[in-house]
Amino acid sequence: MSIQISPSLMCMNLMEIKQQLSVLNSRADFLHVDIMDGHYVKNITLSPFFIEQIRPHTPVAIDVHLMVETPTDFIAAVAQAGADFICPHAETINRDAFRVINQIRALGKKPGVVLNPATPVSWIHHYLHLLDKITVMTVDPGYAGQPFIPEMVNKIAELKALKMQHGYRYLIEIDGSCNQKTYGTLLEAGAEVLIVGTSGLFNLHDRLEIAWDKMMSNITQAQSLLQESA
């Protein structure tokens, strides 16, 4: 399986959103939209209204990361706005995870779940088979540009092993410090989707198409080194 790329739109240049979307539309596998409520994390970023505004201008699947205390306050709104994947944090849904997953599925969307660095895979064992995506946070949530937490490599490998053993369908996605320094480690552990932000994509060049090519060159180099060492 080739690696899939999900640019984090909170890191894009919002003054050039139309031009940058046109670049991403022919390249990205997903568009990652962070929604924060200022409570679950001490930050506020994008919104259901943002999704509604970009939806007519992109054919790419929109993947919504709900960094919010009460996901059920947002699920219907982001679904109506045009989200394709809806991914709350495990800590916010485990009291009623099956009901939340069923709600997402009933709206015609794909359910995912996000694991904070200190949250073990065991928290979601009972509903792994219902998920279309699992996002492993390799930084603490809420802010861009944080350092990679190396202890997360084992968590990625654990999810990969469980997927292979049981035939689960979920994609293994990585959120946090996905860049040239970490690509090799993440790919070797079993990452399937990389969320790229400032360090991985948007800060590589002022022109996004050039930045994209640089990013892909870095990923290809990491893949080649892994093949050589296999």
Binding annotation for a divalent metal cation = 32, 34, 65, 175
E strand or H helix at 5, and its extent?
A: strand 4-7
Distance linking the first and last C-alpha atoms of the chain: 17
Tokens of 173: 């996605």
Of the residues 29, 34, 84, 140, only one is catalytic, namely: 34
| Active-site hit among 37, 84, 132, 175 | 175
Annotated binding site: 32, 34, 65, 142-145, 175-177, 197-199
Q: Is 34 a catalytic site residue?
A: yes
Question: What span, in angstroms and rounded, lies between the C-alpha atoms of 74 and 155?
Answer: 28
- 222: how many CB neighbours lie within 10 A of its CB? 20
Phi and psi for 87 in degrees, rounded to 5? -130, 95
**Burial code of 185-212, b = ≥16 C-beta within 10 A, e = fewer?**
bbbbbbbbbbbbbbbbbbebeeebeebb
> Annotated binding residues for substrate, as ranges?
65, 142-145, 175-177, 197-199
Catalytic residue ranges: 34, 175
